[in-house]
């Protein structure tokens, strides 16, 4: 019997995988990796490791997930060390718990290796703290990916009234609905919003606005997924502590 490591690869930058996550990658016989995992990370795999791409496509998530489950069990039962490499953290909208359940039912040993999630890392690279003593003492992580326009039980009223900072994943396609719901439940239309595209990577791009203006700004700037939506007064801190763009600019000047 082999073993499976369910590993969070981090938010995009190769440098942000954990030490343990990197060790799991280096020792694996088989690596199952997602669409948003940096290909540069795969260069750390040992020479004879089998690399299997299992990135999901729209409307095929459940079919592909079932295949992933089968592959994890199959290779572990062949005595292989398997690393399941997921973007961000495996337990934050990553279906890592479902895979762990399957492994437990099959009697296969496994470990969970947490990763840095985009809801914290992307705003940090944009100069936005998700909490701040003066502007935000509460923070919520929310899925913005609703099926067929349904909000899947999200308590928009509670979020609008009670949470200072909202970090919304996979929500660009539903941005009009999200902003509409928050303003419907009396979130101030002037509340600052940041959209962070390809956060922590060399392609990072950040645009800011307010709840009442961010949809038109996103359309004008052609913001695409993968992007994080950050909503709250903490977004204003970007004016003071944005640092990543400065580092990138300095790097370009020295090249």
Where in the sequence numbering do the catalytic residues fall?
Answer: 34, 56, 170
- Residue 31: left if φ>0, alpha if ψ -120 to 50, beta else—which one? beta
Alpha-carbon span 67 to 119, nearest angstrom: 28
Alpha-carbon span 110 to 95, nearest angstrom: 15
Strand partners, 32: 52, 84
SS3 content of the chain, % helix, strand, coil (to 5): 40, 20, 40
How many C-beta atoms surround the C-beta of residue 202 within 10 A?
Answer: 10
Contact call for residues 185 and 166 (beta carbons, < 8 A): no
């Amino acid at each position: 019997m082999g073993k499976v490591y369910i590993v969070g690869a981090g938010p995009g930058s190769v440098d942000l995988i954990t030490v343990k996550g990197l060790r799991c990658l280096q020792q694996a016989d088989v690596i199952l990796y997602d669409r948003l995992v940096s290909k540069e990370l795969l260069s750390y795999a040992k020479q004879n490791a089998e690399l299997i791409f299992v990135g999901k496509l729209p409307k095929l998530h459940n079919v592909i997930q079932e295949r992933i489950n089968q592959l994890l069990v199959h290779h572990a039962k062949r005595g292989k060390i398997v690393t399941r490499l997921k973007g961000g953290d495996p337990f934050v909208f990553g279906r890592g718990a479902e895979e762990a359940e399957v492994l437990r039912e099959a009697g296969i040993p496994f470990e969970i290796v947490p990763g840095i999630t985009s809801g914290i890392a992307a705003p940090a690279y944009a100069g936005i703290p998700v909490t701040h003593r003066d502007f935000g003492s509460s923070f919520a992580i929310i899925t913005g990916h609703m099926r067929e326009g349904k909000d899947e039980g999200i308590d928009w009223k509670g979020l609008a009234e009670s949470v200072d900072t909202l970090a919304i994943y996979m929500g660009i396609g539903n941005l009009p609905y999200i902003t509409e719901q928050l303003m419907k439940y009396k979130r101030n239309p002037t509340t600052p919003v940041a959209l962070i595209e390809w956060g922590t990577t060399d392609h990072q791009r950040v645009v800011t606005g307010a709840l009442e203006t961010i949809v038109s700004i996103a359309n004008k700037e052609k913001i695409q997924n993968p992007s994080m939506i950050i909503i709250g007064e903490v977004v204003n801190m970007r004016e003071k502590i944005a640092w990543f763009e400065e580092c990138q600019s300095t790097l370009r000047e020295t090249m």
